[in-house]
């Protein structure tokens, strides 16, 4: 390799697991890590930690592609198994289920719990910002039975992601060459989150932040096109604390927010912004099991959209 990727500073990391499926009112995981999910994390974060969950001391049996092994060698990707005891998954109210059936039913939620706790520990131990990232649907899934009100900010079909045909090394080269464009998006999202949490900004300030985000996204699109990197557009959900009524009042949506209806701004509001942003107040199951809400968004992704 011509560049020393392991020397890149790690200011933002993300913890990922297996793809989450929420269809048919059931929570399940796919069988393993799909390389097609890696480009979104690789482009926008400094470090990725994949956390397969192993039970009762089992050995890791997952096979990894040469591309994944290449990323490990660069230092930007790490595989850290999380070990759980199946006995801890058996609930006292299992009814007619066998111990094995009860443990199997509780595996997905136990795995998510382990990932959340691991994300928290990384943030505490490193002093860096570590986010939780989930794939498979627009709603964040967290452990626990209590609920917490969160704000879901959806950037609809606007985040450029390199297609699965692009080699990971090309993405790393792009990150080095176009670091300023990527940092601009990071800073605009940080500023946007601060405006939301302050909950005292007027509509003009919110619109200004969204305009800056749209410029940052546009610049990344242009940079990717200039390097002839084929992309897809995805919808990203950014979760943060639900702000006070002042925020909802500033965008004229107290009534809609209380009913969970999405409030769209951006192009739909005639701002001349290519991004349509939806604000949705969600009651997320998970209670207080939310990592890094004071420092960063949490992220969930919808499925891939059209090629650009």
Q: Are residues 199 and 170 part of one domain? A: yes
Question: Given 135, 164, 193, which residue is the final one in a domain?
Answer: 135
Q: Are residues 282 and 164 part of one domain? A: yes
Question: Given 135, 170, 201, which residue is the final one in a domain?
Answer: 135
**Tally of domains in the chain:** 2
CA distance 19 to 25: 16
Does residue 142 belong to any structural domain of this protein?
A: no
Does residue 306 belong to any structural domain of this protein?
A: no
Q: Are residues 160 and 295 part of one domain? A: yes
Q: Are residues 116 and 10 part of one domain? A: yes
Please give the pLDDT value at position 100.
66
Does residue 222 belong to any structural domain of this protein?
A: yes
CA distance 79 to 135: 17
Does residue 245 belong to any structural domain of this protein?
A: yes
Question: Given 81, 102, 135, which residue is the final one in a domain?
Answer: 135
CA distance 264 to 267: 9
Please give the pLDDT value at position 5.
35
Host H or E run for residue 90: none
Per-position pLDDT tens, the chain of length 308: 333 333 345 588 999 888 777 655 566 666 677 778 889 899 999 999 999 888 776 667 778 888 889 999 999 999 998 888 777 766 666 667 776 676 667 777 778 888 888 988 888 888 888 888 887 766 777 777 788 888 888 888 888 999 888 999 999 999 999 999 999 999 999 888 888 877 666 677 777 888 888 889 989 999 999 999 999 888 888 888 888 777 777 766 666 666 666 666 654 445 555 567 888 888 887 766 676 677 778 888 765 444 44
Q: Are residues 171 and 91 part of one domain? A: no
What's 87's DSSP letter? Answer: G
**Residue-wise pLDDT tens digits, 57-91:** 666 777 888 888 999 999 999 999 888 877 776 66
Does residue 307 belong to any structural domain of this protein?
A: no
- The structure tokens 């209380």 sit at 258
Q: Are residues 159 and 119 part of one domain? A: no
Q: Are residues 285 and 158 part of one domain? A: yes
Q: Are residues 256 and 123 part of one domain? A: no
Please give the pLDDT value at position 49.
93
Q: Are residues 173 and 131 part of one domain? A: no
CA distance 59 to 43: 30
Residue 255's domain comprises 147-301
Does residue 86 belong to any structural domain of this protein?
A: yes
What's 58's DSSP letter? Answer: P
Q: Are residues 252 and 159 part of one domain? A: yes
Measuring CA to CA, which residue among 185, 182, 160 is closest to residue 40? 160
CA distance 288 to 219: 36
Does residue 130 belong to any structural domain of this protein?
A: yes
Please name the residue ranges forming H helices in 178-302.
Answer: 179-198, 203-226, 245-250, 254-258
Report if pTM > 0.85.
no
Please give the pLDDT value at position 287.
63
Q: Are residues 268 and 237 part of one domain? A: yes
Does residue 141 belong to any structural domain of this protein?
A: no
CA distance 251 to 203: 5
Q: Are residues 190 and 211 part of one domain? A: yes
């Amino acid at each position: 390799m011509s560049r020393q990727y392991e020397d890149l500073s790690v200011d933002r990391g993300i913890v990922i697991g297996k793809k989450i499926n929420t269809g048919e009112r059931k929570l399940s995981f796919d069988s393993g890590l799909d390389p097609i999910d890696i480009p979104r994390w690789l482009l926008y974060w400094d470090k990725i930690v994949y956390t397969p969950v192993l039970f009762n001391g089992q050995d890791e049996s997952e096979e990894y592609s040469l591309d994944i092994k290449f990323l490990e060698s660069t230092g930007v990707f790490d595989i850290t198994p999380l070990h759980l005891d199946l006995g801890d998954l058996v609930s006292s109210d299992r009814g007619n289920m066998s111990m094995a059936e009860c443990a199997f039913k509780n595996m997905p939620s136990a795995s998510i719990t382990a990932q959340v706790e691991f994300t928290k520990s990384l943030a505490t131990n490193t002093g860096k910002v570590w986010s939780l990232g989930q794939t498979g649907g627009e709603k964040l899934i967290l452990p626990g039975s209590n609920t917490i009100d969160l704000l879901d900010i959806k950037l609809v079909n606007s985040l450029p992601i390199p297609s699965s045909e692009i080699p990971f090394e090309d993405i790393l080269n792009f990150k080095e060459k176009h670091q300023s464009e990527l940092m601009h998006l990071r800073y605009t999202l940080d500023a946007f989150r601060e405006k939301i949490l302050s909950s005292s900004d007027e509509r003009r300030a919110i619109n200004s932040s969204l305009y800056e985000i749209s410029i940052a996204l546009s610049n990344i699109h242009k940079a990717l096109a200039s390097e002839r990197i084929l992309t897809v557009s995805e919808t990203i959900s950014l979760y943060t604390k639900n702000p006070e009524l002042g925020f909802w009042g500033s965008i004229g949506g107290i009534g809609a927010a209380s009913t969970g209806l999405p409030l769209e701004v951006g192009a739909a509001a005639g701002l001349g912004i290519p991004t349509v942003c939806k604000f949705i107040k969600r009651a997320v199951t998970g209670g207080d099991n939310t990592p890094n809400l004071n420092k960063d968004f949490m992220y969930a992704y919808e499925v891939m959209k059209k090629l650009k």
